[in-house]
Amino acid sequence: MDFPVKIGAAKERSITVSVNQTTSFLWEGENVLSTPSMIAEMEETCRLLLKEQVIPDQQWDSVGTIVDVKHLAATPVGAQVSLKAKVTSFEGRRVMFEVQAFDKLEKIGEGRHERFMINVPRFRANFDEKVRKLEGGPAQ
């Protein structure tokens, strides 16, 4: 299947930082947006860009394959975060993005992210086969 990926295609979305997206080890009470949560939101922005602009077919989606992100600044619970994704390159079903995150005061994250477009039923069949082998196979 050919995908109409366009270099420069972009998506922006906003979230509000929630308690379940924070660290819990810095001090008591609500903390700051965690790095894994920021990365997950960046990945979802890239995924949504592909679903909305490139692969609207329900049988297809994408999975993350590379994450190279810097977390630059702390952001508290309740703050609005703007996430930006832009396609920088693609080859076949692999798409590379530039990602950024901002709160109202500053850039809080930046980097690159790669996604691979997959046929969901085929991916699921391969995954189910792996699970079957892992459950029934010899211990490694």
CATH code of the domain containing 84: 3.10.129.10
Does residue 66 belong to any structural domain of this protein?
Answer: yes
Does residue 2 belong to any structural domain of this protein?
Answer: no
Does residue 71 belong to any structural domain of this protein?
Answer: yes
Q: Are 26 and 33 in contact (CB under 8 A)?
A: no
Residues of the domain holding 89 = 10-136
Query: How many independent structural domains does the chain possess?
Result: 1
Does residue 5 belong to any structural domain of this protein?
Answer: no
Q: Give me the tens of pLDDT residue by residue for the chain, a chain 140 residues long.
A: 778 899 999 999 999 999 889 876 665 666 899 999 999 999 999 999 999 999 989 999 999 999 999 999 999 999 999 999 999 999 999 999 999 999 999 999 999 999 999 999 999 999 999 999 999 866 55
Q: Which of 5, 73, 83, 8 is nearest to 39 (CA)?
A: 83
